[in-house]
Structure 1
């Protein structure tokens, strides 16, 4: 249906239907494999390691074996890779997107990170850039020999990684950095190393490092156009503000990429202009009722800057931490209606915060999703890295 200015109009109801199908949340749209989930969503948040597995499990038609299947995709088949990307955040995304993410979002950040490291080292009287290059080359060679290794293991091969230097002397946040901590972070942003297998279980935040898969060097503008095209195909319509927030780009880069892919402008119920990919088809068939329990930092809950069309503003203080990280959320038919947590005995508990439209059918569907999650988690216990008020209360 067209808007007053002749543009196509996409209302909230259609946006929620698109989300159900394109984000693999409606039962009929669920995926067969972790790789399918990642490809559909473009990228899975990886700052909290558990998010990747929980986001995948929520979208698989058969979630049994979610952990083993996701680990195989990440660490054996290498169909997925966990590395820095948009907004200087760690993500897991299909390996074939490595070059696109690196060229479109990481190069600028990488240059800033390396310059910052060298500046801090110089202020502390640490060795110069030539010394750092030697350490870097030795570290990458050691990693190539080992396959995967922790920073401690790499320091056994290259002892200079253990050296420390002070930073921000005299400031309230002054401290001491180890060369390994800063250098491996820089190498990660530069796309030279990636996160490998965790130490301990799949929920652990401690991990090994591995060499990044080889990828071609792409033109930055072309890579930005390709990343934006893929993301809009999944998350469109989105506003310029949404796109700038999700990518971390400047608004000029967002507009250049929109023009490059000939994105179609549409009007929205929430006002302003949204964009979809050229040739985007409307969702006209009804979507079956659906419920979902999505994890903290889930890419759907964190997909847009402007969230009022699926998340009532009054719910935010309960479901987000002070830094803007979303916690575990309960969904019904395209809306966030509450939060959930796992208790020490493994029980999955939910709290409905928005009762509008949450009838007996909805509550039964939510209970079914909680039981589904409890079953595939088995003996695993998950505590989000970023705690939120409702999650803390429910897990107590």
Structure 2
């Protein structure tokens, strides 16, 4: 991984330099991708990554399958963790995005990131309804209480099923009247979203297969109310252990917090500063040295929105800027990626007949061994996906081309 180097200047002797190769090696081991680092259970994958992107249902299973030693058990084991044991929970988290978290982190996520978003969402809903001439906040509170009671009786239910018990959920109101983006919203859609970010409900088992986005709702598991600052410190410690070193910009982007919150949490956990090519980065306390096994080469086919590809705002150390146009959509969502030893080297897709196809976009250092390892990963993926067809929710240029 190269010798130890220390940054010069004002902080000479205090900040250790962490180069690109060392960061890539750390990524492979900590994210359960490097040889000998794969997990036995989905819970281990979620704990290693802190959060699995859940806005595309297939991403959760594909991200887990890429990191399990026995990928053939991916669907059954992930569904067990999500819907039977409830050791994994699908809920709103950072940046108002749906993730899958280890159950023990739900209280931390709710207090550190959910409360602020929840306040904004409820205020926005009440304001939008008032502008449309819809009933007031007291009416909404009554509908909410009735909806939660119905969900408690049913255990899990779709919005349509809940509306059978509480018909007021079907009522509609005009949003942004007179604007170019005017639309009609249903009370159920907006209210259940608010209840989700408030930590009162979570996504349950989908109506269809593991690729379905038609989820039932379920009451959120009980959790203690934590101090916001303590929760932010806890979440940052978990994330830096998984993804450090990272810059302040990375941390602000991933958490969605204000920079003052990021800096307070860094101080609270005693994060250590290290020198990166792009400036000062941070690692968890006592975690500045190279990780064991980081020099072992590895290949991976990671899905769209995989938490490894989406983990940092600054990604040049593992993703060449020239690869962004074919691998990202216009909103900044990453598509399926091919990795070799800690960097993105191409993309992949599934064709209608089930074949997994891939293309290298950066062949620098990708020799015969790498291509054989990538081909083996493609075959492993096809083996456990089987007859299921997976189309990313956010499609990218290369994925569209390869899947055609």
TM-score, reference length from structure 1: 0.99
Within 2, Cα distance between the matches of 1:144 and 1:284?
48
Q: 1:178-223: per-residue Cα shift (whole Å, max 9, x none)? A: 1000000000000000000111111011110000000000011100
Structure 2 spans left out of the alignment, 5+ residues = none
1:3 lines up with 2:3 in the alignment: no
Matching residue within 261, 268, 274 for 1:266:
274
Runs of 4+ in 1 over 6 A off after TM superposition: none
TM-score, reference length from structure 2: 0.97
Asked whether the 8 Å contact 1:27–1:61 carries over to 2, the reply is: no
State the Cα RMSD in Å. 0.8
1:45 lines up with 2:53 in the alignment: yes
Match of 1:310 in 2: 318
Asked whether the 8 Å contact 2:93–2:113 carries over to 1, the reply is: yes
How many Å apart are 1:369 and its aligned residue? 0.2
Matching residue within 136, 143, 146 for 1:135:
143
Within 2, Cα distance between the matches of 1:295 and 1:283?
25
Q: 1:63-97: per-residue Cα shift (whole Å, max 9, x none)? A: 01210110000000000000000000000010000
Structure 1 spans left out of the alignment, 5+ residues = none
How many Å apart are 1:284 and its aligned residue? 5.6
Within 2, Cα distance between the matches of 1:178 and 1:290?
48
How many Å apart are 1:33 and its aligned residue? 0.3
Match of 1:279 in 2: 286
Asked whether the 8 Å contact 2:24–2:343 carries over to 1, the reply is: yes
Asked whether the 8 Å contact 1:20–1:287 carries over to 2, the reply is: no
1:239 lines up with 2:250 in the alignment: no
1:202 lines up with 2:206 in the alignment: no
Q: How many residues align?
A: 395
Match of 2:383 in 1: 375
Match of 2:343 in 1: 335
How many Å apart are 1:286 and its aligned residue? 5.1
Within 2, Cα distance between the matches of 1:271 and 1:344?
42
1:93 lines up with 2:135 in the alignment: no
Query: Secondary structure at the residue paired with 2:145?
Result: helix
User: Which runs of structure 2 are paired with 1:23-42 in the superposition (5 Å)?
Assistant: 23-42=31-50
Match of 1:347 in 2: 355
Match of 1:125 in 2: 133
Within 2, Cα distance between the matches of 1:14 and 1:236?
11
Within 1, Cα distance between the matches of 2:19 and 2:81?
37
Within 1, Cα distance between the matches of 2:242 and 2:293?
18
Match of 1:363 in 2: 371
How many Å apart are 1:56 and its aligned residue? 0.1
Q: Which moved more, 1:225-234 or 1:3-12?
A: 3-12
Matching residue within 114, 124, 148 for 1:106:
114
